Structure 1
Amino acid sequence: MSLALLYDDAARRGWLVLQDATDDGAPLARESVPAERAAEAVLAKERAARPRWVWDDTARRYPALLAAGVRVERAHDLRLCHAILRGSAFCAGSALAAAPRGPWDAPRAAEASPGARTATLFDDEDAGPAVEEPLDVVGELRLQLDAVAGSQAPRRLRLLLAAESTGALIAAEMTHDGLPWSAEAHDRILTEILGERPAGGGRPERLERLSREVREALGQPTLNLDSSAELLNGLRRAGIEVSSTRSWELRDHGGPIVEQLLEYKRLSRLYTANGWAWLETWVSGGRFRPDYVPGGVVSGRWATSGGGALQIPAAVRGAAVADPGWKLVVADAAQLEPRVLAAMSGDQAMARAGRHADLYQGFVDAGVVADRKQAKVAMLGAMYGATTGDSAALMPRLERAFPRAIAMVEAAARAGERGEVVTTWLGRSSPLPSQRWQDLVAAASVEGAGPEDARAARSARRDWGRFTRNFIVQGTAAEWALCWMAALRRRLLTIPGRPHLVFFLHDELLVHSPGGVAEDAAQALRDSAVEAGRLLFGPTRVEFALSVHIGETYADAKRHM
């Protein structure tokens, strides 16, 4: 397959270079075109050669092409791929990995501003600030190709880079097309739940009334319920002994006051995150267009830098409404992470359990646990490192039933506790622990260290071990999802009427489809899941089961899943 490079012409401001290259990066003919003619030139080359486009950043280059009506089939996103190769243990000895930090290590433009996205457990806290320097696209491509060719697992890395780059194309396309969204339905939902929107600002009446009732029940009429610190102190003054204001802990405490408070928190969260202000900001022309950030966390999962697409609450899903004559086809990969773990580890017993549509019921039928609830608690504990409670008590049963799967996550946890790197199936590696972590561990090992130093070091090791334990599973699940999307994108192109992806949430996809071909789109989702499993793991007994439903609204489809 030929490559086509697209980059800024350093000699002429406002011009772009289109340069052909062989599949090993050797440069061929090049031409310069003014930026206003770039879409035309890209379209001509796309039709003639169907190349893999190589550019610095899909989020920078592709939206303008989409706006001009140009879609490309393949791409190689140098910035996203650089981040993977820079950190991958598979190519740790490469020139790319050994090079000092430079402009390719800077975040994309949408991530460069402070507060652009929320930090998570999986963020690399040592990442540097955005840098504005000229980018050598040709040189970077050669470095990346050399790193892959000399790596421990070239085939896996090539698949990962192709999937990551295709994911970036899909993210831009989903933002461009938008998720069908009814402002009228959203307003109706908010009014039903919160009450009428105040004409002069302020919060809706139902939320204000509930706030007054909670404060009166606590006997503290001026308490600020939206301040976690003030609320925690207020609860303790009222005799409600909790260590935090997290909903799960409040729910465990119980009582009528707590129930009122939980309802207030639910309504306040809806009003703040997806209320009328969100509607006016993010929905226009009947479409919700969030800003997706592929590879937004170091496990490879996506994030968003605006719109909160990865946290759409069930309450407003009824506002995602298909166009007249169209349907929303919703697919959810059932128990994706445990199935990925079974495939990675080659645990045949877990694979057999996974041949059920409900993997957890498969655990019950195999006699591993007594009921489905125990199965779920035990498996989540294994993947997330629960050390107490029901999860810990059930772990010996999982170890006996699924020795290879449990050994794999345990080995990842021990590696993390030693401060080592772990790697996903295709080659994305975890970051090293922070300097603070290293200081805590080092302090416990020096002569004269006290019991508090030892406790702090043990806690830090356990925490990082939980991170690495889950990293290999969550990261590989993200790789499977990328392959699922990429395979689906290709299949949808063969279905008349242009059904297209409009939403992605870790293990869930939405396709907006003409009603007459919605069943074809549903089958494409199923076939693509099978292909994704085969691409990653080759012949495997693990079935990546989907729950697929077709409806007029997102809520309609989810009700049947």
Structure 2
Amino acid sequence: MYILVTGSTSGRFRVQELDSAGAATGLDRRLTTPEFLALVRERDHDVVRWVWADTARIYPVVLRGNARVARCHDLRLCHVILRNSALTGGSVLANAPASRWDAPTAAAAEPAAAGATLFEMDLGAAEYDGVGHDGAGALPDDALAEFQAQLMAIRTCSDPGRLRLLLAAESVGALIAAEMQFAGLPWRSAIHDSLLTAELGPRVAAGSRPARLEELAARIRADLGDPSVNPDSPPELLKALNRAGLGVASTRAWELEKLDHPVIEPLLRYKKLSRLLAANGWYWMESWIINDRFHPEYLPGGVVTGRWATRGGGALQLPKQIRGAVVADPGWSFVVADAAQLEPRILAALSADTAMAAAGRGTDLYAGIVASGVVETRAHAKVAMLGAMYGATSGESGRLLPRLARAYPRALALTETAARAGERGDVVSTRLGRSSPRPGSGWQDDQARASEAGATTADERRARSQARDWGRFTRNFIVQGSAAEWALCWMAEIRKGLTALSAPAEDTGAAVQGRTTRGEFEVAPHLVFFLHDEVIVHTPAALADDVARIVTEAAGAAGRLLFGDFPVDFPLTCVVVDSYADAK
């Protein structure tokens, strides 16, 4: 059973009960916010899936009303998947003219030519244009028609089971993202301040350098023999380095690390501390930490592969220097878990390479590859595997890849096939059916120009380079995207297990002194952080062992959802700590 939730210009919610085909069954009411919340509490105990335009807009209303829902269908997120999936390529939805539901960003509309930016294409950050919107954030004119079109696309696709699981996982991921933002990650501003002071020196006025950075700047100037160089200015710094005879093309850390000169050590240290100040310094702390909680805005499906992104706050890049500020509440603990060698294990399962799966059974996968005699060291195993998944063909990775291919032919054949598809401009798809975008019109034009009579050597070289770059993208798309699907299923299973573990207390509206009320998140274990293959659950200390069991068992359940009984392990490092700094 579905309940479609839209809004109206009067500020009320419109709710319509729908059958499995999306047809109205009679219930069609307009409710005030309190009435809507009462309906959620009453009906969510049924087997019902709430359908709405955008979880990020409507679900916070539910959470602020001290309610939750078990499952939903996010029309915006599901539209993106169904619009672009190869499984639904023949559907009416996939071939319809662009509409407000597409709302593409520039990156989504015209993918970059190649390179690491391919994996950062932002598909989830686009805002609607506001036309036809109401206070509830719905699209009342066409939400029902859109939902019916999505159901039809699923029913008529070549593998509806895979897509149904993907859409359910994507939608529950949106619920989890909203819940994590609402609950917040415990964060102690006083500790953060002390950590910054220890690293940078006492706080100074905006626009001034803290003492540690000023000391390093003085050393950099002295070592370069340039009393005026500004280490915060890459052009100035590049000129000074070259005047000192270092002959560098950029000021990137990886290039500086190759050099032997007295300035390198203070310069690298300066860059690291400068990043800390800019990304997570005092201004960041005052902007993002509210009542000892960090509330980042997660963007499910925000990256083209299905990985999450964030809008502001940098939640996906919390440096080790400040993790000591992430401290559980008194009487509570963190359960911190991350999946070991997730992407290589996903590759083994995707390709049904039983030899690779066996290498990681009950042990570190890279150590298992060494034990199998494929390579000599764990470092070799890791670099070879990264080469297989990202297309590195030179250096140590290129030397080791043939050995990996002989040992695990099915896995390497899968990535090679995906790379060749990308080089042709074809799409590839993840385990559950999320498909890669096609390269943009500039890429297509360059490929066509290189095959025309009279094409120059430069034309052909550019086309080959771009084709290889796109092939590297599709090579990893299937692995990274399928790993993102596993992570969504993992979190969904964790959420379900936590809900079963601890029913909320009756009085979930009681505020904790000094903090905004967070409903049942005040009393029950809940997810507070997610980063690709890592989660943090904030839990009453007495339930920590039970939570750790749930998190661990959820990893196995996610593997079975995606790969059935294929014998691949998804082991976790799972620890119970009071501070995030103690997790690793």
1:34: which partner in 2? 32
Task: Spell out, residue by residue over 1:188-240, the C-alpha distance to the aligned partner (whole angstroms, 9 max, x if none).
Answer: 10000100001576221111111121122112222232233332232222111
Residue 550 in structure 1 maps to residue 547 in structure 2: no
In the TM superposition, residue 63 of structure 1 has moved relative to its aligned partner by 0.8
Alpha-carbon spacing, 1:295–1:125, altered in 2? closer, same or farther (3 Å): closer
Mapped to 2, the partners of 1:517 and 1:192 lie a distance apart of 34
Q: Which amino acid aligns with 2:36?
A: A
Aligned to 1:493, the other structure's residue is in SS state helix
Task: Spell out, residue by residue over 1:240-285, the C-alpha distance to the aligned partner (whole angstroms, 9 max, x if none).
Answer: 1233222122112243311111100000000000000010010011
Residue 507 in structure 1 maps to residue 533 in structure 2: yes
2:255: which partner in 1? 249
In the TM superposition, residue 38 of structure 1 has moved relative to its aligned partner by 2.6
In the TM superposition, residue 46 of structure 1 has moved relative to its aligned partner by 2.0
Residue 95 in structure 1 maps to residue 92 in structure 2: yes
- Aligned partners of 1:148 and 1:154 also within 8 Å: yes
1:422: which partner in 2? 428
1:43: which partner in 2? 41
- Aligned partners of 1:499 and 1:514 also within 8 Å: yes
Residue 407 in structure 1 maps to residue 413 in structure 2: yes
- Aligned partners of 1:356 and 1:362 also within 8 Å: no
How much is the aligned-residue C-alpha RMSD, in angstroms?
Answer: 1.9
2:64: which partner in 1? 67
Task: Spell out, residue by residue over 1:443-493, the C-alpha distance to the aligned partner (whole angstroms, 9 max, x if none).
Answer: 211111111111111110111111110100000000000000000000011
- Aligned partners of 1:107 and 1:130 also within 8 Å: no
Residue 432 in structure 1 maps to residue 427 in structure 2: no
TM-score normalised by L of structure 1: 0.94
Mapped to 1, the partners of 2:329 and 2:120 lie a distance apart of 38
- Aligned partners of 2:123 and 2:302 also within 8 Å: no
Mapped to 2, the partners of 1:356 and 1:250 lie a distance apart of 40
Q: Larger deviation: 127-136 or 209-218? A: 127-136
Aligned to 1:404, the other structure's residue is in SS state helix
Number of matched pairs: 546
- Aligned partners of 2:104 and 2:123 also within 8 Å: no
Q: Which amino acid aligns with 2:99?
A: G
1:131: which partner in 2? 129
In the TM superposition, residue 122 of structure 1 has moved relative to its aligned partner by 2.8
Alpha-carbon spacing, 1:65–1:261, altered in 2? closer, same or farther (3 Å): same
- Aligned partners of 1:331 and 1:546 also within 8 Å: yes
Residue 335 in structure 1 maps to residue 341 in structure 2: yes
Residue 533 in structure 1 maps to residue 563 in structure 2: no
Q: Which amino acid aligns with 2:326?
A: A
2:511: which partner in 1? none
Alpha-carbon spacing, 1:268–1:434, altered in 2? closer, same or farther (3 Å): same
Alpha-carbon spacing, 1:516–1:137, altered in 2? closer, same or farther (3 Å): same
In the TM superposition, residue 130 of structure 1 has moved relative to its aligned partner by 4.1
- Aligned partners of 2:201 and 2:211 also within 8 Å: yes
2:461: which partner in 1? 455
Mapped to 1, the partners of 2:553 and 2:206 lie a distance apart of 52
1:492: which partner in 2? 498
Q: Which amino acid aligns with 1:167?
A: G
Alpha-carbon spacing, 1:73–1:129, altered in 2? closer, same or farther (3 Å): closer
1:370: which partner in 2? 376
Alpha-carbon spacing, 1:123–1:274, altered in 2? closer, same or farther (3 Å): closer
Q: Which amino acid aligns with 2:6?
A: Y
Residue 7 in structure 1 maps to residue 19 in structure 2: no
Alpha-carbon spacing, 1:435–1:170, altered in 2? closer, same or farther (3 Å): same
Mapped to 1, the partners of 2:260 and 2:73 lie a distance apart of 53
- Aligned partners of 1:301 and 1:475 also within 8 Å: yes
One of 194, 204, 211 as aligned partner of 2:217: 211
Q: Which amino acid aligns with 2:440?
A: S
Mapped to 2, the partners of 1:420 and 1:454 lie a distance apart of 19
- Aligned partners of 1:180 and 1:320 also within 8 Å: yes
1:114: which partner in 2? none
- Aligned partners of 1:120 and 1:297 also within 8 Å: no
Q: Which amino acid aligns with 1:498?
A: A
1:276: which partner in 2? 282
Alpha-carbon spacing, 1:501–1:254, altered in 2? closer, same or farther (3 Å): farther
Alpha-carbon spacing, 1:107–1:16, altered in 2? closer, same or farther (3 Å): farther
In the TM superposition, residue 388 of structure 1 has moved relative to its aligned partner by 1.0
Aligned to 1:327, the other structure's residue is in SS state strand
Task: Spell out, residue by residue over 1:279-327, the C-alpha distance to the aligned partner (whole angstroms, 9 max, x if none).
Answer: 0010011111101000001100000001100000011111100000111
1:355: which partner in 2? 361
1:221: which partner in 2? 227
Mapped to 1, the partners of 2:246 and 2:421 lie a distance apart of 41
Residue 520 in structure 1 maps to residue 549 in structure 2: no
1:17: which partner in 2? 14
1:115: which partner in 2? none
TM-score normalised by L of structure 2: 0.91
In the TM superposition, residue 129 of structure 1 has moved relative to its aligned partner by 7.7
Mapped to 1, the partners of 2:362 and 2:460 lie a distance apart of 45
Mapped to 1, the partners of 2:362 and 2:242 lie a distance apart of 47
Alignment of 1:263-342 (within 5 A): 263-342=269-348
Aligned to 1:256, the other structure's residue is in SS state coil
One of 122, 146, 149 as aligned partner of 1:143: 149
Alpha-carbon spacing, 1:310–1:13, altered in 2? closer, same or farther (3 Å): same
Q: Larger deviation: 21-30 or 469-478? A: 21-30
Mapped to 1, the partners of 2:83 and 2:280 lie a distance apart of 37
2:392: which partner in 1? 386
Unaligned runs of 5+ in 1: 112-118
Alpha-carbon spacing, 1:524–1:530, altered in 2? closer, same or farther (3 Å): same
In the TM superposition, residue 64 of structure 1 has moved relative to its aligned partner by 1.4
Mapped to 2, the partners of 1:253 and 1:412 lie a distance apart of 37
Residue 472 in structure 1 maps to residue 469 in structure 2: no
Mapped to 1, the partners of 2:388 and 2:400 lie a distance apart of 9
- Aligned partners of 2:123 and 2:303 also within 8 Å: no
- Aligned partners of 1:332 and 1:509 also within 8 Å: yes
In the TM superposition, residue 153 of structure 1 has moved relative to its aligned partner by 1.1
Q: Which amino acid aligns with 1:74?
A: R
2:51: which partner in 1? 54
Q: Which amino acid aligns with 1:87?
A: N
